[in-house]
């Protein structure tokens, strides 16, 4: 982890080849992010991301978010459907670059890590690189941090992975590696589905640590969404890892059989003792 952090700082300081920046479309899903979207766009343009390589996918904001984006001269499209998952699938229809980098529009993810993610995926040949969130003061409460760890643990158990932050909202993927995925879940479970699709189709997923700042504006994710994400992970398992489901069902069916067998053995043993 320390070596990875040092690599991150080297890339941040030295920058990344400008031709690589042109090979990536930075996708920013938004829904009423008027307080943060301008700050996000300032940072993206400030590190050299070409204006035409930024795509804001708006989910029907009513607070002036779209007006702010247009003032920056950045491309904005109205997403089809509702929720973050539909924003990602909508973005795929407009992305024509080899890579697609997703980050939230609430200013919680520093744009300075865009070059880090690009350098990692292009130098290693990975299909997806996830930014492992390193929470800064005030960015993530205890309950949310614990919930994220539990959900990541559950994902690792269900999909036999050893990842650290499957629900991070900042990641880069090979565009073509995602095009053959079929939408299974919605809202905040989209990150889990993307990772599930990658690992279950033989793709390579890597991680790099990134800072995670306090968001600007209203928080959308609630504690109750954690339970829904867990249920969505179970749904994803039926598609991407059905053998595990069959194993678990078989194990459940085995329990009554073992209980019945134990009862018969105990009964037979007791009868034998009583006749001696």
Confidence label for 254 from pLDDT (cuts 50, 70 and 90): very low
Q: According to DSSP H, which parts of 72-141 are helical?
A: 83-92, 114-124
Structure tokens at 95: 């992305």
- Domain locations in the chain as residue ranges: 2-240
pLDDT of residue 259: 47
Confidence label for 25 from pLDDT (cuts 50, 70 and 90): very high
pLDDT of residue 187: 67
- Dihedral (CA of 84, 89, 93, 99) sign: positive
The class of domain 2-240 in CATH terms is alpha beta
Q: Count other Cβ atoms within 10 Å, centred on residue 18.
A: 10
Q: Which residues pair with 86 in a beta bridge?
A: none
DSSP letter at 136 equals P
Is residue 200 within 8 A of residue 160, CB to CB? The reply is no
pLDDT of residue 140: 84
Q: Which residues pair with 54 in a beta bridge?
A: 26
For residue 206, pLDDT over 60 is answered with yes
Q: pLDDT per residue over 106-122, tens digit each?
A: 999 999 999 999 999 99
For residue 15, pLDDT over 70 is answered with no
Q: Count other Cβ atoms within 10 Å, centred on residue 152.
A: 20
pLDDT of residue 236: 79
Instruction: State the pairing for strand pair 99-102/128-135.
Output: unpaired
- Buried b or exposed e, range 192-220, using 16+ CB within 10 angstroms: bbbbbbbbbeebebbbbbbbbbebbbeee
**In the chain, where do the E strands start and end?**
24-30, 54-58, 75-78, 99-102, 128-135, 171-174, 205-212
Share of the chain above pLDDT 90, in %: 56
Least confident stretch, 71-75, 104-108, 234-238: 234-238
């Amino acid at each position: 982890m320390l070596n990875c952090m040092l690599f991150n700082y080297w890339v941040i300081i030295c920058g990344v080849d400008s031709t690589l920046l042109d090979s990536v479309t930075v996708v920013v899903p938004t829904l009423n992010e008027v307080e943060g979207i301008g700050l996000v766009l300032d940072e993206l343009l400030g590190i050299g991301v070409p204006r035409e390589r930024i795509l804001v996918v708006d989910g029907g904001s009513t607070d002036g978010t779209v007006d702010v984006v247009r003032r920056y001269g950045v491309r904005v499209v109205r997403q089809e459907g509702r929720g973050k998952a539909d924003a990602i699938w909508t973005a795929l229809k407009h992305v024509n670059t080899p890579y697609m980098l997703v980050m939230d529009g609430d200013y919680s993810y520093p744009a300075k890590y865009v070059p880090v993610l690009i350098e990692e995926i292009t130098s290693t040949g990975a299909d997806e690189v996830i930014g492992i969130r390193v929470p800064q003061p005030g960015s993530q409460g205890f309950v949310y941090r614990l919930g994220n760890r539990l959900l990541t643990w559950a994902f690792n158990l269900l999909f036999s992975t050893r990842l650290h932050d499957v629900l991070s909202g900042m990641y880069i993927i090979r565009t073509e590696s995602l095009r053959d995925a079929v939408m299974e879940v919605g809202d905040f479970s989209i990150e889990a589905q993307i990772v599930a699709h990658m690992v279950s189709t033989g793709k390579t997923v890597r991680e790099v640590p990134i800072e995670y700042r306090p968001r600007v504006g209203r928080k959308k994710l609630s504690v109750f969404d954690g339970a829904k994400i867990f249920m969505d992970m179970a749904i994803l398992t039926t598609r991407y890892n059905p053998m595990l489901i069959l194993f678990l069902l078989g194990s459940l069916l085995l329990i009554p059989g073992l209980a019945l067998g134990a009862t018969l053995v105990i009964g037979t043993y007791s009868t034998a003792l009583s006749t001696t």
